[in-house]
Amino acid sequence: MCEIPGSEDSSKIGYIKLTTFNQNAAGSVKEAIKKLRENNVKAFVLDLRNNSGGLFPEGIEIAKIWMDKGVIVYICDSRGVRDIYEADGASTVAASEPLVVLVNKGTASASEILAGALKDNKRAVVYGEPTYGKGKIQSVFALSDGSGLAVTVARYETPARTDIDKVGVTPDRPLPASFPTDEDGFCSCLRDPASCNLNAARLFVRS
Protein backbone atom coordinates (compact mmCIF):
# COMPACT_ATOMS: atom_id res chain seq x y z
CA MET A 1 0.00 0.00 0.00
CA CYS A 2 1.35 3.41 -0.99
CA GLU A 3 0.25 6.83 0.18
CA ILE A 4 0.24 9.46 -2.55
CA PRO A 5 -0.06 13.12 -1.53
CA GLY A 6 -2.25 15.20 -3.83
CA SER A 7 -3.72 12.31 -5.83
CA GLU A 8 -6.97 13.09 -7.64
CA ASP A 9 -8.41 9.65 -6.93
CA SER A 10 -7.22 8.53 -3.54
CA SER A 11 -4.36 8.95 -1.11
CA LYS A 12 -3.99 5.17 -0.73
CA ILE A 13 -2.88 3.14 -3.74
CA GLY A 14 -2.64 -0.65 -3.79
CA TYR A 15 0.43 -2.01 -5.58
CA ILE A 16 0.28 -5.58 -6.94
CA LYS A 17 3.32 -7.09 -8.68
CA LEU A 18 2.59 -10.21 -10.71
CA THR A 19 5.71 -12.06 -11.86
CA THR A 20 4.18 -15.12 -13.56
CA PHE A 21 0.86 -16.69 -14.48
CA ASN A 22 0.93 -19.94 -12.51
CA GLN A 23 -2.11 -21.91 -11.38
CA ASN A 24 -2.51 -19.71 -8.29
CA ALA A 25 -2.16 -16.35 -10.02
CA ALA A 26 -5.84 -15.35 -10.27
CA GLY A 27 -6.55 -16.43 -6.70
CA SER A 28 -3.52 -14.51 -5.46
CA VAL A 29 -4.64 -11.33 -7.22
CA LYS A 30 -8.13 -11.63 -5.71
CA GLU A 31 -6.64 -12.10 -2.25
CA ALA A 32 -4.33 -9.11 -2.72
CA ILE A 33 -7.26 -6.90 -3.73
CA LYS A 34 -9.25 -8.05 -0.70
CA LYS A 35 -6.41 -7.31 1.72
CA LEU A 36 -5.70 -3.91 0.19
CA ARG A 37 -9.37 -2.94 0.35
CA GLU A 38 -9.34 -3.74 4.06
CA ASN A 39 -6.80 -0.91 4.32
CA ASN A 40 -9.15 1.50 2.50
CA VAL A 41 -7.30 1.33 -0.80
CA LYS A 42 -9.42 2.86 -3.56
CA ALA A 43 -7.11 2.54 -6.59
CA PHE A 44 -4.62 -0.03 -7.85
CA VAL A 45 -1.37 -0.42 -9.76
CA LEU A 46 -0.75 -3.80 -11.43
CA ASP A 47 2.93 -4.29 -12.25
CA LEU A 48 3.48 -6.73 -15.13
CA ARG A 49 7.05 -5.68 -15.91
CA ASN A 50 9.32 -8.65 -16.67
CA ASN A 51 6.36 -11.03 -16.46
CA SER A 52 7.09 -13.49 -19.28
CA GLY A 53 3.65 -15.10 -19.13
CA GLY A 54 2.67 -18.61 -18.13
CA LEU A 55 -0.76 -20.23 -18.11
CA PHE A 56 -3.09 -18.65 -20.67
CA PRO A 57 -6.30 -19.45 -18.67
CA GLU A 58 -4.93 -17.58 -15.65
CA GLY A 59 -4.37 -14.49 -17.78
CA ILE A 60 -7.99 -14.65 -18.90
CA GLU A 61 -9.24 -15.09 -15.33
CA ILE A 62 -7.20 -12.13 -14.10
CA ALA A 63 -8.64 -9.95 -16.86
CA LYS A 64 -12.12 -10.96 -15.69
CA ILE A 65 -11.24 -9.80 -12.16
CA TRP A 66 -10.79 -6.23 -13.44
CA MET A 67 -13.45 -6.21 -16.20
CA ASP A 68 -17.21 -6.67 -15.99
CA LYS A 69 -17.71 -6.79 -19.75
CA GLY A 70 -15.88 -6.68 -23.04
CA VAL A 71 -13.62 -8.80 -25.26
CA ILE A 72 -10.40 -9.97 -23.60
CA VAL A 73 -8.67 -11.52 -26.61
CA TYR A 74 -9.37 -12.90 -30.08
CA ILE A 75 -7.84 -16.20 -31.21
CA CYS A 76 -7.31 -15.94 -34.97
CA ASP A 77 -6.04 -18.28 -37.66
CA SER A 78 -5.68 -18.05 -41.43
CA ARG A 79 -9.47 -18.06 -41.85
CA GLY A 80 -10.15 -15.29 -39.34
CA VAL A 81 -11.43 -15.25 -35.78
CA ARG A 82 -11.50 -18.77 -34.35
CA ASP A 83 -12.45 -18.02 -30.76
CA ILE A 84 -13.33 -15.05 -28.57
CA TYR A 85 -12.72 -14.75 -24.84
CA GLU A 86 -14.94 -12.23 -23.09
CA ALA A 87 -15.71 -10.94 -19.60
CA ASP A 88 -19.32 -11.38 -18.50
CA GLY A 89 -19.16 -9.99 -14.96
CA ALA A 90 -19.40 -13.38 -13.22
CA SER A 91 -15.80 -13.25 -11.94
CA THR A 92 -15.50 -9.49 -11.48
CA VAL A 93 -13.91 -8.28 -8.26
CA ALA A 94 -12.65 -4.77 -9.04
CA ALA A 95 -14.21 -3.30 -12.16
CA SER A 96 -14.60 0.30 -11.04
CA GLU A 97 -11.51 1.41 -9.09
CA PRO A 98 -8.88 3.41 -10.99
CA LEU A 99 -6.21 1.08 -12.37
CA VAL A 100 -2.71 1.54 -13.78
CA VAL A 101 -0.77 -1.27 -15.48
CA LEU A 102 3.03 -1.17 -15.77
CA VAL A 103 4.71 -2.99 -18.69
CA ASN A 104 8.11 -3.25 -20.37
CA LYS A 105 9.90 -5.27 -23.03
CA GLY A 106 9.99 -8.21 -20.59
CA THR A 107 6.17 -8.32 -20.48
CA ALA A 108 5.26 -11.25 -22.74
CA SER A 109 2.58 -13.71 -23.79
CA ALA A 110 -0.25 -13.99 -21.24
CA SER A 111 0.77 -10.74 -19.57
CA GLU A 112 0.54 -8.97 -22.95
CA ILE A 113 -2.96 -10.38 -23.44
CA LEU A 114 -3.96 -9.00 -20.03
CA ALA A 115 -2.38 -5.59 -20.63
CA GLY A 116 -3.94 -5.35 -24.10
CA ALA A 117 -7.39 -6.23 -22.80
CA LEU A 118 -7.27 -3.67 -20.00
CA LYS A 119 -5.91 -0.99 -22.33
CA ASP A 120 -8.28 -1.53 -25.28
CA ASN A 121 -11.34 -1.66 -23.02
CA LYS A 122 -10.15 1.57 -21.37
CA ARG A 123 -10.19 -0.21 -18.03
CA ALA A 124 -6.62 0.83 -17.19
CA VAL A 125 -3.98 3.36 -18.11
CA VAL A 126 -0.91 1.45 -19.33
CA TYR A 127 2.55 2.87 -18.60
CA GLY A 128 5.96 1.74 -19.76
CA GLU A 129 7.48 0.64 -23.06
CA PRO A 130 6.20 -1.63 -25.86
CA THR A 131 5.92 -5.21 -24.68
CA TYR A 132 7.83 -8.22 -26.02
CA GLY A 133 5.43 -9.26 -28.78
CA LYS A 134 4.83 -12.97 -28.22
CA GLY A 135 1.50 -13.66 -29.86
CA LYS A 136 1.82 -16.97 -31.71
CA ILE A 137 0.04 -20.19 -30.78
CA GLN A 138 2.16 -23.15 -31.85
CA SER A 139 1.79 -26.92 -31.95
CA VAL A 140 4.80 -29.23 -31.92
CA PHE A 141 4.74 -32.26 -34.20
CA ALA A 142 7.13 -35.17 -33.65
CA LEU A 143 9.21 -36.25 -36.64
CA SER A 144 10.46 -39.76 -37.42
CA ASP A 145 14.06 -38.90 -36.50
CA GLY A 146 13.01 -37.88 -32.99
CA SER A 147 13.12 -34.16 -33.60
CA GLY A 148 10.10 -31.86 -33.48
CA LEU A 149 8.57 -29.27 -35.76
CA ALA A 150 6.85 -26.21 -34.27
CA VAL A 151 3.98 -25.01 -36.45
CA THR A 152 2.11 -21.76 -35.88
CA VAL A 153 -1.61 -22.61 -35.82
CA ALA A 154 -3.12 -19.34 -34.56
CA ARG A 155 -2.34 -15.93 -33.10
CA TYR A 156 -3.57 -13.60 -30.37
CA GLU A 157 -5.21 -10.28 -31.20
CA THR A 158 -6.19 -7.65 -28.66
CA PRO A 159 -9.79 -6.33 -28.45
CA ALA A 160 -8.76 -3.52 -30.85
CA ARG A 161 -7.60 -6.25 -33.29
CA THR A 162 -3.89 -5.56 -32.80
CA ASP A 163 -1.76 -8.61 -33.63
CA ILE A 164 0.48 -8.95 -30.57
CA ASP A 165 3.19 -10.99 -32.28
CA LYS A 166 6.47 -9.08 -32.83
CA VAL A 167 4.64 -5.79 -32.15
CA GLY A 168 3.52 -6.10 -28.56
CA VAL A 169 1.23 -3.76 -26.68
CA THR A 170 2.03 -0.06 -26.95
CA PRO A 171 1.50 1.74 -23.62
CA ASP A 172 -0.66 4.83 -23.22
CA ARG A 173 2.22 6.70 -21.58
CA PRO A 174 5.95 6.15 -21.18
CA LEU A 175 7.58 5.60 -17.81
CA PRO A 176 10.59 7.75 -16.90
CA ALA A 177 13.88 5.88 -17.23
CA SER A 178 14.49 6.48 -13.54
CA PHE A 179 11.26 4.77 -12.50
CA PRO A 180 11.98 2.04 -9.90
CA THR A 181 11.21 -1.64 -10.40
CA ASP A 182 10.67 -2.64 -6.76
CA GLU A 183 7.75 -2.03 -4.41
CA ASP A 184 9.56 0.23 -1.94
CA GLY A 185 11.06 2.30 -4.72
CA PHE A 186 7.65 2.61 -6.37
CA CYS A 187 6.07 4.01 -3.20
CA SER A 188 9.01 6.36 -2.63
CA CYS A 189 8.62 7.65 -6.16
CA LEU A 190 4.94 8.42 -5.64
CA ARG A 191 5.66 10.18 -2.35
CA ASP A 192 8.39 12.26 -4.02
CA PRO A 193 7.43 12.43 -7.73
CA ALA A 194 10.22 14.85 -8.57
CA SER A 195 12.76 12.13 -7.77
CA CYS A 196 11.58 10.01 -10.70
CA ASN A 197 10.02 12.62 -13.01
CA LEU A 198 6.45 11.36 -12.56
CA ASN A 199 3.27 13.40 -12.13
CA ALA A 200 1.72 11.32 -9.35
CA ALA A 201 -1.34 13.54 -9.06
CA ARG A 202 -2.31 12.56 -12.61
CA LEU A 203 -1.25 8.92 -12.40
CA PHE A 204 -4.67 7.54 -13.34
CA VAL A 205 -5.49 10.14 -16.01
CA ARG A 206 -5.34 8.73 -19.53
CA SER A 207 -4.17 11.91 -21.26
Question: Closest Cα to residue 24, out of 58, 54, 52?
Answer: 58
DSSP 67-116: -SSEEEEEEEETTEEEEEEEE-STT-S-SSS-EEEEE-TT--THHHHHHH
Q: Which is nearest to 17 in space by CA: 134, 100, 116, 97?
A: 100
- Parallel, antiparallel, or unpaired: how do β-strands 148-157 and 70-77 relate? antiparallel
Catalytic residue among 64, 109, 111, 119: 109
| Residue 109 is among the residues annotated as catalytic for this protein | yes
Instruction: Decide: 44 and 99 in contact? Cβ < 8 Å.
Output: yes
Would residue 134 show up in a list of annotated catalytic residues for this protein?
Answer: yes
Catalytic site residue from 134, 139, 147, 178: 134
Which residues carry out catalysis?
Answer: 109, 134
